[in-house]
Amino acid sequence: MVSPRGHYREESPQVANIELIRQSRDRSVPETGQGLQKGAIHTDSVSKSYGGGSGRIDAVGNISIDVAPGDFVSIVGPSGCGKTTFLKLLGDILEPSTGHVEIDGRPARAMRKGRRVGFVFQNAVLFPWLTVRENVTLPFQIARSGGRFRRVPNEFLERVDRALTTVGLEDFGHRLPRELSGGMQSRVALARALVPEPAVLLMDEPFAALDELTRTEMALHLLSVWERVRTTVVFVTHHIQEAVLLSNRVVVMSRRPGIIRRDITIDLPRPRSLESRRHPLFGEIVEDLTLDFHLSGRD
Amino acid sequence: MHLAIRGRPKAQARNTDRSSRRVLSWFNQNLLIPLAIFVVVIALWEWAVVAFEIPQYTLPRPSAIWVSFSGESGDLMHHTWLTAKEALLGYLIGNGIALVLAALMAEFKIVEKSLYPYVLVLRSLPIVALAPLLIIWFGFTIWPIVAASALICFFPTLVNGVEGFKAADTTMLELMRSLNASRTQVFQRVKLPNAMPYIFAALKISVVSSMIGAIVGEWIAADAGLGFLTIQANNFVDTLLLFRAIIAMAVLALSWFLLVVIIEKRVLKWQTSS
């Protein structure tokens, strides 16, 4: 489908599902470093309701979506539309009421248990009693210890150090989280999510608590990290400019119960930077999405 | 060479100056005002006893209390050590059981539902009413006093512990789920560290509680200890002895409290200092 303005493609959710994997291979979606496709997400009529009877709340309607391996998809929508709930369904933090989620052809639960799904939350969720390095080592600690505190082997600790270098915090490993700025804390959370090398990285408004400047800085940082690691990212945000700058694809959700209203492919060239904002297409998509965003909020 | 030899003592002197200035500043900020109040109160007390001719059996002069310590300190130490032993044992047993039970109650709803009514009943019983029963069970040993002390500090620690274990941040729990952490790992790595501030608050409160338990226990079933001394002082209208016992209790409770605060500062060093 072509947008009325003819500059960028807008897919109906159904068509988008079929088209996506092909697009990702021949366009801007990167291959993984090892040449293996990984992180393909498939959801089939996934919904989530809370409570029962007259007090039942339908948070997420039926959502069927496919995300190609290594893609960067943003989900935008009005507050309370079920974006976060949907992300938690993808990561098996919540169980769907109907439908199912698959990652790389396996149930989301199996992928979570195999620690193949990374999660970055709205707040950095760092353990204040652990140093930055210990926080990033946590996924390995948990994978190894089985309830007891065992030493993490050096090869894993080297991966922790590499992750800290990737997010530019190699000199802050011994610090406590409270000694870091908000932006630095977000970077630690990103390093912790990346260190087990997940197939899918789910990010729930990770920069929402940051000021505008730091937020932009973090978005650019995420871009550069993603260019290197090429893991599949599903990024929930209510910041349209951020979504357009980062993503290959933006999914707009309706008000509760959240369903997919629009699914837009962002054809901005990569690698992207702050300069990408000057691209005529950037402004056009942002303007269109902003209008749509407000309309979806009023429906 | 000459300069180097002369330079080192200068640098050392500078460091000594800096650390002594730091101690002085800490003293000014934390101790100066309380100490000034103490001096003023003692001076007023001394003056009032003389000015209003208050008899010693009603209120002795601070200087008289101070003088009365000489020659009695060995005996006082014996009684203080006994009370400290009883209170400390009660403190460790009461808090230990309370924390294990709090963890079980926070982790398993069935345990909480089954035990909470009994805990409340236990709480509502006055410790003095239970004392005769404790004597029957444990005899005239230190154990009924230890039990009284343990019972009195049990409840606040249990309530704080349950609250602390349950207060873990939901997002942290979600993070642990995303990492496929086991129940034991979630408890060890999230719930327990998260409950530490609550637990230490209870441990500080129960320093005084366990002392009260031990002293009340000694009133009923002891022939030694600071509680016993206060009863004896009362019988013989020996106000000086009463004051000596009270001061010993205060010093014991304060040192113990400070010890818990020091441990708390070390364990919770990740918290922002206030």
* Boundaries of every domain in chain B: 77-267
Q: Is B171 on the interface with A (CB under 8 A)?
A: yes
Tens-place pLDDT, residues A73-84: 999 988 888 889
pLDDT band at A34, cuts 50/70/90? very low
Report the pLDDT averaged over residues A270-283. 88
Q: Is A113 on the interface with B (CB under 8 A)?
A: yes
Tens-place pLDDT, residues B131-158: 888 888 888 888 999 999 999 889 889 9
Between residues B186 and B12, the one the model is more confident about? B186
Inter-chain residue contact B179 with A138, CB threshold 8 Å: yes
B77-267 CATH fold: MetI-like fold (1.10.3720)
Tens-place pLDDT, residues A159-212: 898 888 888 888 898 999 999 988 889 889 988 988 888 889 999 998 887 888
Q: Is B64 on the interface with A (CB under 8 A)?
A: no
With b meaning 16 or more CB within 10 Å and e meaning fewer, what string describes A251-277? bbbbbbbbbbbbbbbbebeeebeeebe
pLDDT at A24 over 60: no
Distance of CA B151 to the CA centre of its chain: 15
The pLDDT value given to residue B9: 61
Inter-chain residue contact B176 with A142, CB threshold 8 Å: yes
Of A232, A248, A242, the C-alpha closest to A103 is A232
pLDDT at A217 over 90: no
Cα–Cα dist A116/B179, whole Å: 9
Which amino acid is it at B257?
F
Q: Is A117 on the interface with B (CB under 8 A)?
A: yes
**Which residues have CB under 8 Å from B78's CB, separation 6+?**
B224
Strand partners, A76: A252
Q: What is the DSSP annotation of A142-203?
A: HHHHTTS--PPPHHHHHHHHHHHHHTT-TT-TTS-GGGS-HHHHHHHHHHHHHTT--SEEEE
Distance of CA A284 to the CA centre of its chain: 24
H-type alpha helices, chain A: 13-26, 83-90, 108-113, 132-145, 154-166, 182-194, 212-229, 240-246, 280-298
Inter-chain residue contact A176 with B270, CB threshold 8 Å: yes
pLDDT at B82 over 60: yes
Count CA atoms within 13 Å of residue B59 on its CB side. 12
pLDDT at B167 over 70: yes
Domains of chain A, first to last: 10-116+200-298 (3.40.50.300), 126-197 (no CATH)
Between residues A259 and B143, the one the model is more confident about? B143
The pLDDT value given to residue A228: 82
ipTM: 0.79
Q: Is B271 on the interface with A (CB under 8 A)?
A: yes
Inter-chain residue contact B178 with A91, CB threshold 8 Å: yes
Cα–Cα dist A78/A259, whole Å: 12
pLDDT band at B197, cuts 50/70/90? very high
Report the pLDDT averaged over residues B41-65. 91
Report the pLDDT averaged over residues A25-30. 34
